[in-house]
Structure 1
Amino acid sequence: MNEYIGDDDQTNEEEDIPFPKRRKYRRVKRKVPEPEYSSPSFAFPGVVKLVLTEDAQRAVECVCGEDVTSENPWKYIKKEAVVQNIELNESSEFFKIKNEVLTFPNPSILIIYLPDESEDEDQYYFCLSIEAEERANNIISQVKTERNEKLNNTTLKTSKPWRAQGSAPEISDMMYKANRPLIKVEIETSYPVKPAPSHFKVRPVEKAKDGYIEILSLRSTYTNVIRRKIDAVAQATPFVTATSSQTDYRYPKNETTQYQYTYSLPKETKEYIRNLKYFAQNTMNIFDDSIYVNGSIDFFTSDYKLLVKDEVGPEKPQEFHLVEFSSFYQHSIEKGKVISAVSWHPMWTGIVAISYADKALGLYINGKSEVDEVHRATFEITPVHLWSIDDHLMPKLLLEIHRDVSSLSFCPYDENLLVGGCVNGQIILWDITNKLKQVEEDEILTADQYAYRIRMHSMMSWMKNTSNRRFVGATVVSQLQYSPISAITAVTWISPFKEIDKTGKIRRISEDEKRTSLQFSTTSLDGTIQFWDLRGKPPTGALAAHKKYRHIKSRPAALMTDVSPFKVFHRVLKPIFKVNVFAPNTTRHLPLMVVGKQESATTYVQKHPSDPNRKFDLNERIYFQAELKDNRDLENEYLLGSAEGDFFIITWEGYDYTSNEIVNKETATINNFVKFHDGPLVSVKRCPSYDDVVLTVGGKIFALWLLEFIGKPIIWRKCSCRYTHGNWTANRHSAFRMSRSDGYVEQWNFTVRSDRCQYNILRSGKWTLGSHAHPLPLEKQILGLCDYTSSFRLFLTDNTVQQDKKELSHLYQLLCAEAERKRGIVRWNEQWNVKNPELSVSHRAKSVTGEEKKQDEKAVQVIEEAINVKQRDRINADAQWREREVERMNTLLLTKRGLDPSLLEVQQLPLIKVKEESTRKQEKLKDALKSAPKIYEDTVAMMFADAVQKKPQSPVDPYKGGEFVINKSVYFNSYTRIAEKYEKFVSDNTYQYTFNWLKMAKAGRERRILLDGYNQRCNHKRRIIRERVLREKELTKPPTISKQESIQAIE
């Protein structure tokens, strides 16, 4: 039932009911996470805020993301870069701070990058005053310290107290606790308390828990060396005695002699007077004769001056000096190479072309080459360098090649042509027209052009620069199919007034034709001489048909300036004629090394003569031009030297008609074939003043020849080491210079002395491959040496020594007189042989028998050496392989264990010494044991001399033969004699053997049955079967009754 309650009652009731109090909540402010990096404020005086584009950032080297980042937003930039950007760029962003930058005293400016992702552009702060820079540096150092502290707090953690997670009771139950109370015990002892005796034991380290490992040194015993000899010093003073003797100088060396008379008169005694009278009576006649002779003849004068008819003698030879002043070497390209060919420019001073290769033709190499030829020819080809004296560090031009070059030669008539011969037989031609000028001329650029070029290169850093003017490609490369098949050894130019046609005929170009030829010849190791023509017509198909465009009538002139006219011969150049050189009486090609051809008479005059008396400087390049003279006859002969040490002269005639061959061939006629040198010929040089005087160098011998005297050299000398090059001196044609394999340079002059060289100078640590003199006149003559380090060393020589015509004629007269003397000896031998034919026949027979014996001995030695070499090579190969395997296993074990081989060697030295001493002692002990019987016999003989009797000598074994090594040739000769005898007997008494196939098959079958065990088993089995069959037959057979039994049964 609902009741109405008034307001008063309601209020009273509410007051009586207690309501719960309202809780007060405390508001907690949220912590906003701090950013990883908050940029400090740099808004203070002296700091300017700028917006920079990407180009401006690259100009001052402050690119966002590369040079400055959000972690390191500050950097110093160069003041010069900012000033240069203001001057070069009219719309530069730095114009706003131009005055502040120019007045800023420091060379570098501090800039601060403002990393703000809300902005699209990159903003930077520039500190343009010293106070602002110091204040900014303080802020930067404070930021760095805060960052380091924050990093340390994140990496280093502090230990915190343990928080129980409910496992505390389980852990306490597992722990050992003392639950019972301790027992108290009273102990009475006597005072003082004596400690118990301690017993120490050895406790090894590995059994202790807290032990450690002790690394001890090697426990090795060292043997002491007992000093058995004591040196004692004693001073001995000899007795001083004064002696004097008078010497009678029969042949005095001085013209005048000063005498000091210290003679004292003897006392006149009776004995003295008696001796004087005796001397006067017996020797007065002899004394008178001696006085007369001394008065007539003066024995103390020099007769050498009186024997001289002409008082004007030869001048004193001047000293030969070689002063090194420079060298051409580039380590990055020429490392591990040798110089293979050198050619000075004949018209430009100070220019030389040098080619490099792994091997040179005049170099001696022992053993087999382990170089990968394919890899080297593909990736390690060194270009031909064109050096100049005014730049010793970098070659002027790098001439590109596809194979190593073995010979080089500048054209003596065209200053822009250089021909090279490759090791594969191809010919390379370089046309260097305007190439050297383009490299040496300075390019003039304005500041804007230079800055634009730098900017363009910076934006194209990904692009490879292929427009290097130093690299010059090959203009012409010959066709491989028709080129020689071996290395080119020499390139020789033919006179421009003569030419060789396809038939091999040499003809003179007439003056009416108003042209000159451009031909050269090459010699190769394949035994061929080939002739090439650069003025001939290119073969058909040499030029590919270019596509013609109607709107382009002709190519621009600028594109045709550097195009060589010889480009039409590229890849299609062929020889016009070939001469084959065979060994005498064989069809084997002779490997041709050098050629000595008569050079054309060419003189060089200066192109732009300014002062005729001016001295030519080394660093100043002077240009010459050739003046050609046609004053020599046509010659179709070559002086050649082979790799086998042969010197000979060849000629050819040519054909009167043209064959259908692409390249006509002819076999050369050989004259004066002489095997004289003991090694490959490296030089064959004609004398520049006398064409019939030839210098040949090969092996350890050099020789001078006269072409009139064929068959033998006129003068020759032999050295203890090999010669590598030889040539006549440029300013003195009576002398010649030689380079040796031990680094010495010799100069010979037979007009001064002929027993040994005139000068001998050491100029290298090892071999030198040649000496090449500068061909043009300079203030001082330059001599280039090819060193073993692949550097071309330049030396200055005295240019004061000029050619003496008397000296040159004296050399020629000396050679002619020597040739005449040798002709006289030959004539006298021929006359003697005619007068005494019997002696000559017997002498020839003796020489023939001696030669046969020598040949037999040589044959035996060759066979034995071949057998020994094979066995030695096999043994050496196996031993080397085992050594390599042992070394490899040792290195693997050492690397796996992390040991240092050098340290192990040092530690093993004491052990090695101990082992050596022990082995030495054992060897001594063995020697003593071997000699024990002898020692015993000696001691017995010494102590019991009477009891010892000499043993009779054992009789000689009659069957014991001589030493096989001594009688080797005798055994071999007897063997050959017996073999020939019985071979003849066998051939005369032939034996015919009758053969029957059936008998042989039957005998073989019987042997097979006897030897085969299977057949034996089968025979045994057949015998058992046969017996069983016979037994069964007997059982089944009816019983037989005899005749008597049958009669009895009937009865």
Structure 2
Amino acid sequence: MSAVQESAPNKDEHVEGEENREEEADREGSDAEIDGGEDGDGQAKQEYIKKEFVARSYISPYGTDQEVKNLIVKNSRPLMKIRVSRPRREFGHEGFSYIERDAGESNMEIKVTKTGYFTKKKVLEIGLQAANQIKRFQSQTYYNRMVNAIVQYDPKDFISEMQKMSQQDQAISEKLDKFVDRVAYRIEEALQSNELINVFQDDFEMLGDEEAAQAAKISTVNMLPRTFFEHDYCKNKRVSCIKFHPTKPYLVAMSMVENLSFDDRCEITGKSFDSHVLIMNFSDAHQDNSINYITLNYVLETPIEISTLEFHPENSSVLVGGCISGQLIIWDLSCQESRISAGKKPEAIKMPDEEEDKTQQTIVKLKQLSLSSIVLSHKNYVADVQFIPSQVKVDRKNPPAEGRMVHFISVSEDGLVCIWDTRPVEKENLRVITDFIWKPFMQINLFRQDGSGELGLSRLLFHPKQSATTFWAASDEGDLLLIDWSVKAVGGGTEEGSKYAEYVKLTFDSERNYRPVLALERSPFFEDLILTIHDFHFSIWKTSIDFDHPIFRSANTFGSHNTCGAFSPTRAGVIFITKTDGIDVWDFVDQSNKPSLTLNFATSAITYFKFQHFKHEDKKQYMAYGDEQDGTLFLYEVPTNLKNPQEKEIEIIEEFWQREINKCNYVKDRRVVRKEEYQEQQKIEEIKRAMEEQQKEQLDDVEQQKEMEQEVQYQELLMKYKVEFGLMSQEELENWKKSQKKK
């Protein structure tokens, strides 16, 4: 039995789909058959019920709504608040120096740290669907139909046109002939000049030599580094000192220490590390610029890390080193007994140098010739070592040196200055005495003049031609000192603070730095100019004038701190300042407010810097520096513009320093004048305050007198009324008046 269902369309009906509607119709039809409800035609009836639409939230059976909620980024922490303030007492503080800086130079580099930044990253999964939009365009093109055409020309037209063109060509030809006749001579002269004169030659180059003409250009070809790194000796080391050989132009010595931080060094205080001093040869790199490697000649073994080195100026085979433990160590490169592994010819004592065949050289290892007693040495690490000139008479008790340079001075931050004699530790004397104990023959203790404690030194400096028993030194707080070790103690030694302070003859205070001086150099062109390198600036001192402050103080270094520096050996107005990220070149001929050139070829922080003062025949000049990562030595050839002096450079720089001195003297005089003006103003203000106080006292006296008179009048009036009202007799009134007169 089958039934056909029909229904009229209803607009308010909620249609869910064609398939659902057919299923409901089949289900209702089957129910109608079971109930037996049919109309007269035999068809079953179907009744539709209108349902009310109820809005409710969307619930996805696949969890899509939860994924949408996860895409919303919410703050996982409260917003950070930063407040930057400055103490009121620092307003108007003196001592600042301002420099001119362009807007493009104020850059700040934010390096990636190991721990990461404080922000947290959140990964979001976002799905996007892209579809090209469909657009309909219509265009109408024009159709050009082909048409057959015929053109007939008259020969007369061509003849007249040709005649006109010939007349015009003739006129142009006449003008061209006149132009060629006019300029032919000058063109011929110019062609002949081109054959005789190079038109591409620089005009300024003809005024001087070729190297002087390149003074304003940087030669990047010669700035390629020659590097040295030995895995067995340099791994995880930091370069502490670099010194060039005084007589052999291609030998350079380098000492290294463990690359440890301050905290790590404090934890292992007292522990000894085996170290080495390496002596390299760069003769191959000097002769051929394409060769960038440096060979190793000597390995000097030491049981203690070396902080500073110094070659003997006269006996260049002797090398003195200062240890971190405060001891002094000495090597002799020519001593056969000190060699651990000699070359292929052990019977020869000849030093390997640049003249020998490199294929016949081997690395020579040597042990120390002598090591000083730790009890009689410094209590802190040796900061610097310098040989005393032969003209100086060190001490009367010590045997004369007979014109030889046999004494040297070592300084440290423990306030102790030691003077050593190299004659007892010579190889001939050590062969005779086996149990010799090396100790300084003279020691002086330095104390601060204010009695606050020991005066430590970080650098010292001698003049090569001096004969006095003095030397310049830099303290561990950035001051420049002149010390005389021949001064004898006075006062019987009862007050040690006062007697030791007499060793310091002059003190130049540094107001902007309270840390040890990194380098102390003397200008090779001006003997009274001394350079001190500090952490964030450098200073130039004039020792021949009575001025206790530097005549020039540079601007502060931004983004990094200084590590070392030196005067240029060949240019009077150039100073090299090494930083942790490169080298600043200050050319005072160009400008003095900021570096003229910055060499950013440092791969890691620079720890030590040194110039070679040896003059090569080919006029090459070298500078070397070491880094703190893997004990690598970098050797650079100085560019031409930084090596060759400019015309009248010494006179220009001398005038510049004189202007700086005049400026300092003006500031000094103005300080005296301003101090006098301030004192005068203080006196005027004190007189003014005294006069105001005096006037105030006078006014107070007048007011007090007036009050007393009013009081007397009141008492007289009171007594008068007492007499009138019978409260007092006339006799008592007379007695009261007599008592008032007595007062």
**TM-score (norm. length: structure 2):** 0.54
CA separation of 1:676 and 1:578: change in aligned 2, threshold 3 A = same
Residues 503 and 656, structure 1, Cα contact 8 Å, conserved in 2 = no
Show the counterpart of 2:578. Answer: 739
Contact 1:320/1:759, CA 8 A, preserved across alignment: no
**In the alignment, which residue of structure 2 is the partner of 1:770?**
608
1:818/1:842 Cα in 2 relative to 1: closer, same or farther (>3 Å)?
A: farther
- Which position in structure 2 is the counterpart of 1:811? 653
CA contact (8 A) 1:406 1:420 kept: yes
Which residue identity does 1:781 align to in structure 2? Q
Q: Distance in 2 between matches of 1:733 and 1:470?
A: 39
- Corresponding position of 2:673: 831
Report sequence identity in percent: 18
State the SS of the aligned residue for 1:499.
coil
| Matched residues, number | 452
Quote the residue 2:622 is aligned against.
782
Distance 1:653 1:571 in 2: 27
Specify the code of the residue in structure 2 equivalent to 1:412: P
Number of the residue aligned with 2:375: 481
Structure 1 pair 231/580, CA: closer, same or farther in 2 (3 Å)?
farther
Task: Say if 1:646 and 1:677, in contact at 8 Å, map to a contact too.
Answer: no
Spell out, residue by residue over 1:302-346, the C-alpha distance to the aligned partner (whole angstroms, 9 max, x if none). xxxxxxxxx99x986342645234212111222111011111111
Q: Distance in 2 between matches of 1:370 and 1:775?
A: 38
Aligned to 2:592, the other structure's residue is in SS state coil
Residue 325 of structure 2: aligned partner = 424
Q: Which residue of 2 aligns with 1:712?
A: 549
Q: Which residues of 2 match residues 304-323 of structure 1 at below 5 A?
A: 317-319=216-218, 321=220, 323=223
Match of 1:348 in 2: 248
- Once the two structures are superposed, the pairs formed by residues 112-511 of structure 1 within 5 Å of their partners are 224-225=67-68, 317-319=216-218, 321=220, 323-359=223-259, 365=261, 367=263, 369=265, 372-373=268-269, 377=272, 380-389=273-282, 392=293, 395-433=296-334, 442-443=344-345, 470-501=364-395
Question: Deviations for 1:424-472, whole angstroms, at most 9, x for unmatched residues?
Answer: 1111111111669998865599xxxxxxxxxxxxxxxxxxxxxx97221
Distance (Å, rounded) in 2 between the aligned partners of 1:843 and 1:221: 86
Q: What secondary structure sits across from 1:356 in the alignment?
A: strand
CA 230–777 in structure 1, closer or farther in 2 if over 3 Å, else same: same
Mapped partners of 1:525, 1:386: distance in 2: 28
Distance in 2 (alpha carbons) for counterparts of 1:522 and 1:569: 25
- Structure 2 Cα separation of the partners of residues 489 and 411 of structure 1: 18
The match for 1:532 is: 420
- Judged with a 3 Å threshold, the aligned counterparts in structure 2 of structure 1 residues 836 and 353 are, in CA distance, closer, same or farther, namely closer
Kindly state the Cα deviation for residue 529 of structure 1 after the two structures are TM-superposed.
Answer: 1.5
Give 1:837 deviation, angstroms. 2.7
CA distance in 1, matches of 2:484, 2:379: 22
User: What is the correspondence of 1:582-981 to structure 2 with a 5 Å cutoff?
Assistant: 582-598=447-463, 600=464, 632-655=465-488, 667=501, 668-678=503-513, 679-707=515-543, 708-717=545-554, 718-720=556-558, 721-742=560-581, 744-778=582-616, 779=618, 780-789=620-629, 790-798=631-639, 801-804=643-646, 806-834=648-676, 837-840=679-682
> Which of the pair is proportionally richer in helix?
1
CA shift, 1:230, in A, is: 8.7
SS of equivalent to 1:430: strand
SS in 2 for 1:327: strand
Cα separation, 1, equivalents of 2:323 and 2:488: 30
Q: Deviations over 1:379-403 (max 9, x none)?
A: x412211222258576322212121
- SS class of match (1:675): coil
Contact kept, 8 Å, 2:341 with 2:365, in 1: the verdict is: no
Offset of 1:422 from its aligned partner? 0.8
CA distance change for structure 1 residues 563 and 713 in 2, over 3 Å: closer, same or farther?
closer
Q: Aligned partner of 1:753: which letter?
A: Q
1:120-170: CA deviations, max 9, x gaps?
xxxxxxxxxxxxxxxxxxxxxxxxxxxxxxxxxxxxxxxxxxxxxxxxxxx
User: 2 CA distance for matches of 1:640 and 1:498?
Assistant: 17
Report the alpha carbon displacement of residue 420 of structure 1 after superposing the two structures with TM.
0.4
Q: Distance in 1 between matches of 2:277 and 2:242?
A: 10
Aligned partners of 1:586 and 1:843: how far apart in 2? 38
8 Å contact from structure 1 (residues 677, 698) kept in 2: no
Displacement after TM superposition at 1:688 (Å): 1.3
* Distance 1:369-1:487 versus aligned 2 partners, 3 A rule: closer
- Does structure 2 retain, via aligned residues, the 8 Å contact 1:386–1:397? yes
Distance 2:467 2:277 in 1: 34
Deviations 1:260-319, CA, capped at 9 Å, x for gaps: xxxxxxxxxxxxxxxxxxxxxxxxxxxxxxxxxxxxxxxxxxxxxxxxxxx99x986342
How far has the Cα of 1:774 moved from its partner? Answer: 2.3
2:296 aligned counterpart, secondary structure:
coil
Matched residue, 1:114? none
Matched position secondary structure for 2:331: strand
- Alignment match, 2:35: none
Could you say if the C-alpha distance between residues 433 and 677 of structure 1 is closer, same or farther in structure 2, counting changes exceeding 3 Å? farther
Q: 2-side partners of 1:522 and 1:758: how far apart?
A: 36
Check whether the contact 1:356–1:383 (CA below 8 A) recurs between aligned residues.
yes
* Counterpart residue identity of residue 490, structure 1: D
Contact 1:499–1:517 (Cα < 8 Å) also in 2: no
Deviation by residue 1:204-253 (Cα, 9 ceiling, x = unmatched): xxxxxxxxxxxxxxxx999534779999999xxxxxxxxxxxxxxxxxxx
Structure 1 partner of 2:171 = none
Q: Secondary structure of the equivalent of 2:648?
A: helix
| Equivalences for residues 23-102 of structure 1 within 5 A | none
Provide Cα deviations, 1:339-389, integer angstroms capped at 9, x if missing partner. Answer: 1111111111211111111259xxxx4655475455x51xx4122112222
Q: Is the 8 A contact 1:340 1:359 kept in 2?
A: no
Retained in 2: the 8 A contact 1:429–1:474?
yes
CA gap 1:774/1:843 in 2 versus in 1, 3 angstroms: farther
Extract unaligned runs of 5+ from structure 1.
1-219, 235-310, 446-467, 539-561, 601-631, 845-1051
Task: Tell me: CA distance 1:328–1:827, structure 2 relative to 1, closer, same or farther (3 Å).
Answer: same
Letter paired with 1:396: N
Partner SS state of residue 680, structure 1: coil
Partner of 1:214: none
RMSD over aligned Cα atoms? 4.0
Contact 2:408/2:419 (<8 A) preserved: yes
C-alpha distance in 1 between matches for 2:274 and 2:340:
25
Q: CA deviation at 1:706?
A: 0.8
Secondary structure class of the residue paired with 1:480: coil
Counterpart residue number, 1:577: 442
What is the letter of the counterpart of residue 387 of structure 1? M
TM-score by length of 1: 0.39
Shift of 1:754: 1.3
Query: Does the 8 Å CA contact 2:342/2:364 hold for their aligned counterparts?
Result: no
1:769–1:787 Cα contact (<8 Å) kept = yes
Q: Which has the larger radius of gyration?
A: 1
Structure 2: tracts of 5 or more residues without a match: 1-61, 72-125, 134-206, 285-292, 348-361, 494-498, 687-743
- Deviation at residue 423 of structure 1 after TM alignment: 1.1
Q: Which amino acid aligns with 1:385?
A: L
